[in-house]
Amino acid sequence: MSDNQEPENGGGNNNPWMKSLMIWGGIFLALLLAVSMFGGPREAPGTAILYSDFKEKVAEGSVAEVTIAPDRISGTLKNDERFVTTPVPGDVNLTQQLEDANVQYTGTQPEQMNVLLVVLIQALPFLLILGIAFFALRQVQKGGGSGAMGFGKSKAKMLTEKQGRVTFEDVAGIDEAREELQEIVEFLKDPQRFSKLGGQIPKGALLVGSPGTGKTLLARAIAGEARVPFFTISGSDFVEMFVGVGASRVRDMFEQAKKNAPCIVFIDEIDAVGRHRGNGIGNSNDEREQTLNQLLVEMDGFEANEGIIIIAATNRPDVLDPALLRPGRFDRQVVVPVPDIDGREKILAVHMKKVPLAPDVNPRTIARGTPGFSGADLANLVNEAALLAARRNKRLVAMQEFEDAKDKVMMGSERKSMVMTDDEKKMTAYHEAGHAIVAVHEEASDPIHKATIIPRGRALGMVMRLPERDNYSYHRDKMHANLSVSMGGRVAEEIIFGHDKVSSGASSDIQYATDLARNMVTKWGMSEKLGPLQYEQSQEGYLGMGQTTRTFAGAETNKLIDQEIKDLVEGAHKRATELLTKHEDQLHLLAQAMLEYETLTGEEIKVLLENGKIDRPDAPTGPIPVAPSQGSSIPKAGKRFGGGEAPQGA
């Protein structure tokens, strides 16, 4: 019987008492043996004398009595002094001499130990071994791996309402996923409603989605709604360096779940233990594979696990073993997507309940300006806005704080303390103006959200573009527009400062353009020469370490692929050159405005290009002077447009 059941029958309090009693009994027995062996009362042996001196004292008549033993002779002199000596073998005349001297003498046998004491002494090593074994078994029987040798026990923890109850009301923006899981909750509450029509409870549900989309939050909401025992464990908690430990923990976890059925077991990051079998070293002895095999058997083996629902979460379903994904184990795969604009608005409303808001805050506007944000990103946005308001000593969080927090999350923190020379600022201004002008005149490009030459994160400046609506696929014209915009900064440097003064600030632009062109050619079939074929495929690296690219092309085809990528990037460079040469006056105008104001919004850039000035309270009177510069020194100009990164160590 396990410790988990003992409190139910009233025996849970006896174990510590019995254990203490046994320990103290063993200590008392050991002390008793020690006292019996070494601490028993013995007579004082007396003064040791030579055997010849003893014979002389007998002859003199000074010995009163003698006790003769095989290995020693002890006695008392007439002056009450005790003595002891060792006899000489073969002295057969000793007793005659004692009688002649009128000395009382007696003989003794060798000391005999108690038979029980002898048995205890001989059995002491075996008793110690049995005691150690008993202690080890008691430790192994402890539930949850709490014992010193409990590494084979499951580390699953039962979630209680004391840890913060979460319900489906706290989950927003992923309505379809919530509805699928809510059906599981209804089954747990009223199983007869489904079973009377022949329906069976789903054995498992796999939550699949990008990081931060709310998979763990959904699992906690299921626990809060179902009001049934809810065990939570991470996939990495199963695997240890010792072979067989993970499988033992899986068995123990299901044993605990059976005792508390109906219940829910949530395995977070199941890809840590559920990856494809056959990728490890020593397939037959791989600890992770043994753990996965045991998990497969427990989920759908010969023994039915009635009333146990397994819910797992992962953001890498492509690496999971096919046997784990089949119906009967994970009957449902629930996709938890990145929320759309309506979902983002609902998520913001949930997180804004904890924040005192100013009247001008509009969640819809914030949701429109945060495409691609996950639930975790939106929670971080609200938190950053609250922190900004606290630093500014405000009692309410206003729309300005949310806008500043959005810029911080998207583009990084401002580095206003960074000292830049005038030449570096001018180079950065023209670089970012080149991106912006090309984006304005490329019809398929996303509109500009903000352009700045204030260093943010690792970039010295950037142009941030945001789509007008959520995009779920990208068209060829948009990709070509993005290639042209990425080349705009480099082309602006070439036009304004000359070929020899081009900086290293376009390194991230070139990387972005090259990766985009390669995907267009090798994955998306957007090359007329190569056709709609896939030539490269990303896959998990060896032993699960990183991502690698597998190429399905020969040497000649690879040369053609490289040439096509080069043609796409150089074509974008040519297109950007044509646009900036045609609109060079706008390039100068925007660069001078960025030097003046440092940061411009997309609307301000639009007004500037139409009217030649910006309607700002701090705007100078009259149009902004246009003064192209020549011969600028090479700056360390870096930027990010729409998500790129500045080069490090440029």
CATH code of the domain containing 331:
3.40.50.300
On whether residue 647 sits in a domain, the answer given is no
Query: The domain containing residue 401 runs over which residues?
Result: 341-411
Q: Are residues 353 and 317 in the same domain?
A: no
Residue 149 falls within a domain, yes or no?
Answer: no
Give the highest mean pLDDT range of 237-251, 274-288, 526-540.
526-540
Q: Are residues 583 and 444 both part of a single domain?
A: yes
Give the residue from 306, 335, 364 where a domain finishes. Answer: 335
Mean pLDDT of 350-379: 89
pTM: 0.64
Given a cut of 50, is residue 639 above it in pLDDT? no
Do 322 and 453 reside in the same domain of the chain?
no
Higher pLDDT pick, 137 / 366: 366
Give pLDDT, residue 541. 47
pLDDT, average across residues 222-241 = 76
Same domain for 435 and 326? no
| 546 contacts: CB under 8 Å, gap ≥ 6 | none
Instruction: For residues 573 and 493, give the distance between their C-alpha atoms in angstroms, rounded to a whole number.
Output: 12
Choose one of 367, 390, 411: the last residue of a domain. 411
Summarize the confidence of residues 203-212 as an average pLDDT. Answer: 86
pLDDT tens digits, residue range 304-324? 667 788 889 888 888 888 888
Mean pLDDT comparison of 37-41, 77-81, 439-443, highest-scoring range: 439-443
- Cβ–Cβ contacts within 10 Å for residue 345, how many? 21
Domain match, 605 and 628 both: yes
Average pLDDT, the chain: 77
Residues 608 and 635 in one domain: yes
Do residues 102 and 118 share a domain? no
Domain end, chosen from 305, 335, 365, is at 335
**Cα dihedral 348, 353, 357, 361 in deg (nearest 10):** 30
Q: pLDDT: is 633 or 60 the higher one?
A: 60
Closest CA to 268 of 320, 207, 181: 207
Sequence letter at residue 440? V
How far is residue 449 from each of residues 235, 403, 606, measured CA to CA in Å? 41, 11, 11
- Most confident segment among 327-336, 464-473, 628-637: 327-336
Residue 110 phi, psi dihedral angles, 5° rounding: -60, 145
Q: Is residue 481 situated within a structural domain?
A: yes
Within this chain, do residues 575 and 527 fall inside the same structural domain, yes or no?
yes
State whether 471 and 485 are in the same domain.
yes
Are residues 83 and 207 both part of a single domain?
no
- Say which of 289, 384, 432, 494 is annotated catalytic: 432
Residues 469 and 608 both lie in one domain: yes
For residue 27, the model assigns a pLDDT of: 67
What pLDDT score does 115 carry?
67
> Which tens digits make up the pLDDT trace of 102-143?
888 888 766 555 666 667 677 777 777 877 777 666 655 554
Token pair for 615 = 């309607």
CB 462 within 8 A of CB 639: yes
The answer on pLDDT for 484 being more than 90 is yes
CATH code for position 442: 1.20.58.760
**Strand order across the beta sheet in which 308-314 lies:** 157-158, 230-234, 263-268, 308-314, 204-208, 332-335
Cβ neighbours around 419 below 10 Å, total: 5
pLDDT of residue 184: 79
**Lookup result for tokens 């009450």:** 80
Eight-state DSSP code of residue 599:
E
Give the domain CATH number at 91.
Answer: 3.30.720.210
What's the structural domain count of the chain?
A: 5
In 283-401, the DSSP E strands lie at 308-314, 332-335
Encode pLDDT of 461-483 as tens digits: 888 888 877 777 888 999 999 99
pLDDT confidence of residue 244: 65
On whether residue 210 sits in a domain, the answer given is yes
Question: Which one has a higher pLDDT value, 619 or 21?
Answer: 21
Residues 484 and 498 in one domain: yes
Give the Å distances, CA to CA, from 472 to 177, 345, 373, 457, 476.
18, 18, 14, 28, 14
Is there a cis peptide before residue 262, judged by omega within 30 degrees of 0? yes
DSSP H/E element including 59: helix 51-60
- Please state, in angstroms and rounded to a whole number, the distance separating the CA atoms of residues 245 and 421: 61
Active site residue 269: no
Rounded Cα distance between 43 and 412, Å, is 91
E-assigned strands of 152-269?
157-158, 204-208, 230-234, 263-268
